[in-house]
Structure 1
Amino acid sequence: MRVWILSDLHVDASPWEPPPGERVDLAIVAGDVADGLTRRAIPWLAQHVRPRARHVVYVPGNHDFWGTRLPDELARGRDAAIAADITLLNAGQSRIVEGVRIVGATLWTDYSIGRPKWSQAWGMREAGDRLTGMRDHRRIQTRDRLGSPAPFRPFAALALHVEHRDRIERILSEPHGGPTVVVTHHAPHPRSLPAGEATGPGDAAYASDLSAIMEGEHGPDFWIHGHVHASRDYRVVRTRIIANPRGHDTSHQRRDGSWADERENPSFTPSLVLEI
């Protein structure tokens, strides 16, 4: 199976279209297509990715929920994805595509990647700071247990992480005769961070250390993620971890006519295809 891997396209911040290429069996998009799941992200995928792939699996990222109320947008997003013939996996659901089992979840994080140097509470406080923290907690809303509108604070993201991780582990424990691919937006290991390890409490909003899953008897064959705007390809025991994020691109022509290359991730490969 030929699998096209993409993430963190941010096409609303800097417009982009994939270059011409051969049709693939499966496209996996690991989140952050554009701000707004139904307003921008799914329509862009339907126009630019769906025609290039026999199957499309899309795991939404944090930016895909900006400007929305998360559970309401997800409900609309599921309908929009079905209409566009795109498989939306957001909370640990799975799909088998031509013998390949795919498990997908946004995942969020457990805010614990810096322990014991930085506590979980410190990581959550850093992410939730209303001035310098993650803008997710200012740009996304949710609903409380009674269904009333509520801010999307770090404790809500942590609760989702626990739910998504539990579902991923449960599905991985079920027998499957072919390869298994886990797709998450948030990173599953500290080696995916810019420095290859946690260097401050702020890193806790970008990755969790899920080594225990990959080192266990049910570790997946591949784990594809986004969120960290740097290309990654490494192994944890038998699991190959891959990220191919575009990131932001503010490249422009200077007044003297020269070109300023300001790609956030120059290593992004627009036509990265993995053979499974």
Structure 2
Amino acid sequence: MGRSGGFLFRRLGERVNIVLIHLRQEIQTDPHRIRIDQFLDDLGAAFVRMSDGPGLARTIEGPLPMPRLWILSDLHLEAAPFPDAYDPPRPGFDVLVAAGDIWRGGPEKAVATVARLAAGRPAVFVAGNHEPWGMTPARCMARLKRAAKGTDVTVLDGEGAAIAGVRFIGATLWADGLLSGLHLRPLQTTGEGVLSPSGQGTITHGDEAALHAAERRRIAALLEQAPDGLPMVVVTHHAPLTDRMPPGLRAHPGAGLFASDLSTLMTGNRIALWVYGHIHAREDRLHDSGARIVANPAGPLFSTPGFEDDCVVTVGAGMDLKTRRED
């Protein structure tokens, strides 16, 4: 395709991405909305891929409408005396992003809570390390997927989905244990109430390291395969960086259960935003790669300092646009 033709297709693809955001507002009650979203997003991305060079113009005149992501994690509602009482005023948002640990040992309750909070809008959910309490991670995921059928909740387990003009990639991630040498004790149990993937005994450091390695490879493959045209948002429960852990946690022998260093994935890919939970500490910063790193965990009984019921982050509707925080 000629240079001018590629430019026109790129502009058309960007316009399609803008139109689909507006269309989505008109089809909120359609039970097939997520399927329509996927088609429209993939259509827009396909037009952009038909351009023939990275040097082509990637922006259009005028402001772009940008999807708003409502971010939260680690509600731990199993610890709340009246869990359904958590019903905050809904901020203006297009997609709810829940980064795990919504309900310990209750996959169905976790999905129902996310759906209730989203109130008819799309939601993206990754399992934390507490959802599979009392079961294997695979068993938990099967229950989560089953519970999400017929709802607006998309459960991601090493998978991607295009929703509301954003390409989401999500997984629990687990952790490699390197931060505190846990990888050197692969047969030692972690102390978590999660069953080993084999179903024999509780999960070990070796089990978690293997889960982490598999999910890290899957995230890397999805990032590499993702077409241009939509901003990419990665959602994990475990932390993708180790450099900002709270000092007290960093010095703990179990620190390797919380975070791993995925900075090379950020540097080598076009990631607009990375959302995570697990560490009960707020974070909102810009990584050297240009990716925004955001964590908004509530903690048991909403004990995390700085947790916000209305944390909304806006991402760009086209390539290479910066993210910004909605205050």
Tell me whether the two structures share a fold, i.e. TM-score over 0.5: yes
- Tell me the amino acid that sits aligned with residue 130 of structure 2: H
Could you tell me which residue of structure 2 aligns to residue 252 of structure 1?
none
**Cα distance, 1:149 vs structure 2:** 4.4
Could you tell me which residue of structure 2 aligns to residue 33 of structure 1?
102
Relative to structure 1, is the Cα distance of residues 119 and 265 closer, same or farther in structure 2, using a 3 angstrom cutoff? Answer: closer
Q: Is the 8 Å Cα contact of residues 37 and 60 (structure 1) preserved in structure 2?
A: no
**Cα distance, 1:85 vs structure 2:** 2.6
**Bigger radius of gyration:** 2
Query: Distance between the aligned counterparts of 2:232 and 2:250, measured in 1?
Result: 28
Could you tell me which residue of structure 1 aligns to residue 126 of structure 2?
59
Q: Is the 8 Å Cα contact of residues 11 and 33 (structure 1) preserved in structure 2?
A: yes
Q: Provide the secondary structure at the position in 1 that maps to 2:286.
A: strand
State, as a whole percentage, how many aligned pairs show the same letter. 36
Could you tell me which residue of structure 2 aligns to residue 257 of structure 1?
none
Are 1:93 and 2:144 counterparts? no
Alpha-carbon displacement from aligned partner over 1:149-186 (angstroms, at most 9, x marks no partner): 45322211111111110011111112321210000000
Are 1:212 and 2:264 counterparts? yes
- Tell me the amino acid that sits aligned with residue 121 of structure 1: L
Alignment of 1:185-204 (within 5 A): 185-195=237-247, 198-204=250-256
Q: Is the 8 Å Cα contact of residues 190 and 197 (structure 1) preserved in structure 2?
A: no
Alignment of 1:224-239 (within 5 A): 224-237=275-288, 238-239=290-291
Are 1:135 and 2:195 counterparts? no
Q: Is the 8 Å Cα contact of residues 9 and 248 (structure 1) preserved in structure 2?
A: yes
TM-score by length of 2: 0.69
Could you tell me which residue of structure 1 aligns to residue 184 of structure 2?
121
Could you tell me which residue of structure 1 aligns to residue 28 of structure 2?
none
> Of 165, 168, 173, which aligns to 1:107?
173
Query: Distance between the aligned counterparts of 2:118 and 2:183, measured in 1?
Result: 39
Q: Is the 8 Å Cα contact of residues 197 and 207 (structure 2) preserved in structure 1?
A: no
Q: Is the 8 Å Cα contact of residues 191 and 197 (structure 1) preserved in structure 2?
A: no
Structure 2 residues not aligned, in runs of 5+ = 1-66, 316-327
TM-score by length of 1: 0.81
What is the number of residues matched between the two proteins?
Answer: 244
> Of 261, 267, 272, which aligns to 2:311?
272
Could you tell me which residue of structure 2 aligns to residue 259 of structure 1?
none
Query: Distance between the aligned counterparts of 1:183 and 1:220, measured in 2?
Result: 11
- Tell me the amino acid that sits aligned with residue 129 of structure 2: N
Relative to structure 1, is the Cα distance of residues 201 and 120 closer, same or farther in structure 2, using a 3 angstrom cutoff? Answer: farther
More strand by share: 1
Are 1:4 and 2:4 counterparts? no
